Amino acid sequence: MSIEEREASLVENFETFDDWADRYRYLIELGEELPALDEVYKTTENKVQGCQSQVWLIARRDGDKIIFEADSDSAITRGLIALLVKLFSGANASEIAAADLSFIERLGFAKHLSMSRANGFASMIQKIKRLASSI
pLDDT tens digits, one per residue of 48-84: 999 889 999 999 999 999 999 999 999 999 999 999 9
Mean pLDDT taken over the chain? 93
The tens digit of pLDDT for each residue in 84-104 reads 999 999 999 999 999 988 888
Angle, nearest 10°, between helix axes 3-15 and 75-88? 140
pLDDT, mean of residues 40-55: 95
91/107 Cα distance (integer angstroms):
22
8 is catalytic: no
Q: Where are the domains of the chain?
A: 3-134
How is residue 113 annotated by DSSP? S
In this structure, CATH architecture of domain 3-134: Alpha-Beta Complex (3.90)
pLDDT given for residue 106 in this prediction: 82
pLDDT given for residue 74 in this prediction: 94
Question: Which one of the listed residues 30, 51, 85, 131 is annotated catalytic?
Answer: 51
- Is the model's pTM score more than 0.95? no
Q: State what percent of residues in the chain have pLDDT above 70.
A: 100
Distance of alpha carbon 33 from the chain centroid: 13
Task: List residues bridging with 66 in a β-sheet.
Answer: 61, 91
Give the contacts of 128 (CB within 8 A, at least 6 positions apart): 57, 59, 68, 84, 88, 96
Q: How far lies 4's CA from each of 12, 53, 78, 99, in Å?
A: 12, 28, 22, 8
